[in-house]
Chains A and B, each alone.
Chain A
């Protein structure tokens, strides 16, 4: 990520952002609501074009790539969207099988088995034939992770990984992320607010701020919590409310 400036029609959300994500690392993007976390993520996965700057994936520019080059880059990433974004007209198994079907030459039984195994990994064994509409929000999120992992990408991007999940499921997801990162050396870029999950999994974190329009802190979450000079960062990690005149 080099000197990224991003924004929407007239309003810049992020200015001059530069950072690196290393291979096999679990990288967390933090920040208060509306600070541009999701905007940053959508730039990283190539959905939005930056106003200036570059986003490099192994030396190739994500935002400039087109045609086959872009498809090759996209095949190296997987994305889990905030609300799951499962295709409502397909069962879970079909959702997970779709990328396998479109991008590999595996035989049908292999695709079924891989899709079933991915769903088992996220604890959804037995729900293969369910439609997304029949599931709870947390289950949809887990199914979305299974779909993002279908092609075993190098980098998995996750928007709001554990928001809205119960603590047990959330902890299981953390375990899953850790095991995938350590065993398969998958790189994770995760946007999240959940402090326990951040401490459990994050190798490194950056923290964005709305007023600074950029990164206010970078490092291990434990270090940021205990040693940051920035009062807002400490406040974030200690879950303290901003003092208001009424209080």
Chain B
């Protein structure tokens, strides 16, 4: 019978609080590993004991581990887990573990766990997915989203039709409140962006046009592009980021807090109660904000021409001859559709919110992304239609 004994190298600071010595004896059936533990087995001291202990175990592969624990003064969950790890490792390879002298209160904690219930090794990690599965999942999610979107459009149409038939049932106070928040409160940001877009575009256009002595046509360019295209588009994008996201966050929070469920069980349709006021507010406010954006954008362009020495009246006249009411109405028709879409998407994404803290953030992001994509698609569709009907 041979015996070897070793004190395991612990850092000095830890060695003062906790001790570990290992001894290996070869018996008739195989090796016997004796581990002598002493001191406080808490999270930090166990951290320093863990690797030496497990490596001693793996090196010797003993049939019996004797843990001499009578000098252990304190043993918390971390220490217990170390003893438990030894136990389950021994169970797995058919070895035995004897714990000698562990105080009864600590032994009771150890007895709470059943080694057969735990798998050895690290906990399961998420499997990396393959490309086919991911593609399938994405297609399915897009398909499901499209179906939900179509269903939502249908439900919203019915709710709007009912609202038109019974205007008294619309929650007008809510609608006005939403109007104020989406419309009036958005004026400064819309003004700033339109003014700058008008100014920058005029400035960029003036440089090449000057080469041909055609600076005055900057007025035509600004008027047409602002009123037909950029006014509605910029307004819609600002509203998607500002109000669409707000709707999604509001309704998402209500969904998470079960307020939507409460409305439903009270017999109040969330569609009529929450979505219709927001859609009405957005579809009235968006065209108004667009007219405002058109005016401010054209005003921004005027600054460049004024600085080039043209009088204001020349600029105004040039603007008035270059745009017609058809241009203005074409832009407003677009902004009307944008308004319904932004409010609808915001509300839909809010109502789709899942549970959990990240759900509201997710639905807000989705509302802005979907909103902006749909704005561009709808704008493209309008351009094609306007081209074919010749306006």
Asked whether A109 and B354 contact (CB < 8 A) given A117-B80, A184-B109, the answer is no
CB distance from B218 to the nearest CB of A (A): 52
| Shortest distance from the beta carbon of A187 to any chain B beta carbon, whole Å | 14
Q: Could you give, for residues 296-335 of chain B, a 1 whenever the CB lies within 8 Å of some chain A CB and a 0 otherwise? A: 0000000000000000000000000000000000000000
A51: chain B residues within 8 A (beta carbon): none
At the interface, yes or no: A125 with Cβ under 8 Å from chain B? yes
On whether the beta carbons of B118 and A152 are closer than 8 Å, the reply is no
Q: Which residues of B contact A125 (CB under 8 A)?
A: 117
Q: Is B31 an interface residue (CB 8 A)?
A: no
A155 on the B face (CB < 8 A): no
Given contacts A105-B48, A109-B122, A120-B113, contact A133 B355 (CB under 8 A): yes
Option from A117, A128, A129, A182 in Cβ contact (under 8 Å) with B84: A117
- Choice from A106, A112, A121, A132 contacting B46 with Cβ under 8 Å: A106
1/0 per position for A107-119, CB-CB distance to B under 8 A? 1111011111110
> Hey, which chain B residues are within 8 Å of A156, CB to CB?
none
Q: List the B side residues contacting A6 at CB < 8 Å.
A: none
Please state if A88 and B358 are interface contacts (CB–CB under 8 Å).
Answer: yes
Q: Which residue of the partner chain A has the closest CB to B88?
A: A113
Cβ B122 vs Cβ A112 within 8 A? yes
A68: interface (CB < 8 Å): no
CB <8 Å contact, A107 and B47? yes
Residues in A neighbouring B78, C-beta threshold 8 A = 104, 106, 110, 114, 152
- The answer to whether B44 and A104 touch across the interface, beta carbons within 8 angstroms, is yes
Q: Which of B42, B47, B356, B358 contacts A110 (CB 8 A)?
A: B47
Interface of chain A residues 90 through 143 with chain B (CB within 8 A): 93, 100, 103-110, 112-118, 120-121, 125, 128-129, 131-133
CB contacts under 8 Å to A, within B225-276, are none
- Judged by a CB distance under 8 angstroms, whether A179 is at the interface is yes
| Given A132-B356, A133-B355, CB of A110 within 8 Å of CB of B108 | no
Q: Which residues of A contact B118 (CB under 8 A)?
A: 113, 116-117, 120
Does B106 touch A at the CB level, under 8 Å?
A: yes
In the complex formed, the residue of A with least CB distance to B105 is A183
CA distance A4 to B108 in the complex (A): 39
A244: interface (CB < 8 Å): no
Known: A118-B77, A128-B123, A184-B76. A104 touches B84 (CB 8 A): no
Q: Which residues of A contact B112 (CB under 8 A)?
A: 120-121, 179
Chain B residues with a Cβ closer than 8 Å to the other chain, count: 33
Q: Say yes or no: is A151 at the interface (Cβ < 8 Å to chain B).
A: yes
| Contact string against A for B residues 28-71, beta-carbon threshold 8 Å, 1 for contact and 0 otherwise | 00000000000000111011101100000000000000000000
Q: Nearest B residue to A186 by beta-carbon distance?
A: B76
Residues of chain A within 8 A (CB-CB) of B82 are 110
Q: Are B85 and A110 in contact (CB under 8 A)?
A: yes
B43:A133 contact, CB within 8 angstroms: no
Cα distance, A131 to B51, chains bound together (Å) = 30
- A152 & B76 in contact (Cβ 8 Å cutoff): yes
Contact of B51 among A100, A107, A128, A182 (CB under 8 A): A107
Minimum CB–CB distance for A129 against chain B, Å: 6
Assuming the contacts A88-B357, A93-B123, A113-B84, asked whether A106 and B50 have C-beta atoms less than 8 A apart, the reply is yes
A114: B residues at CB distance < 8 A: 77-78, 81
**Who on chain B is nearest to A184 by CB?**
B76
Report the separation of the CA atoms of residues A150 and B106 in the bound assembly, to the nearest whole angstrom. 17
Task: Verify if A201 is at the interface (C-beta below 8 Å from B).
Answer: no
- A160→B85 CA distance, assembly (Å): 34
Residues of B within 8 A of A183 (CB): 105-106, 108-109
Contact of A117 with B81 in the complex, beta carbons under 8 Å: yes
- Which residues of A from 156 to 198 have beta carbons under 8 Å from B? 179, 182-184
Which B positions have Cβ atoms within 8 angstroms of A? Answer: 42-44, 46-48, 50-51, 76-78, 80-82, 84-85, 105-106, 108-109, 112-113, 117-118, 121-124, 354-358
Taking A100-B43, A117-B81 as known contacts, 8 extra A-B pairs with beta carbons closer than 8 A to each other, sorted by chain A number, are A88-B357, A93-B123, A105-B47, A110-B47, A110-B81, A125-B117, A149-B77, A152-B77
Could you list 7 A-B pairs, sorted by A, with CB under 8 Å?
Answer: A89-B356, A89-B357, A108-B122, A120-B112, A132-B356, A133-B354, A183-B105
Closest 8 CB pairs of A and B: A152-B76, A88-B356, A105-B47, A106-B47, A88-B357, A133-B356, A183-B105, A104-B43
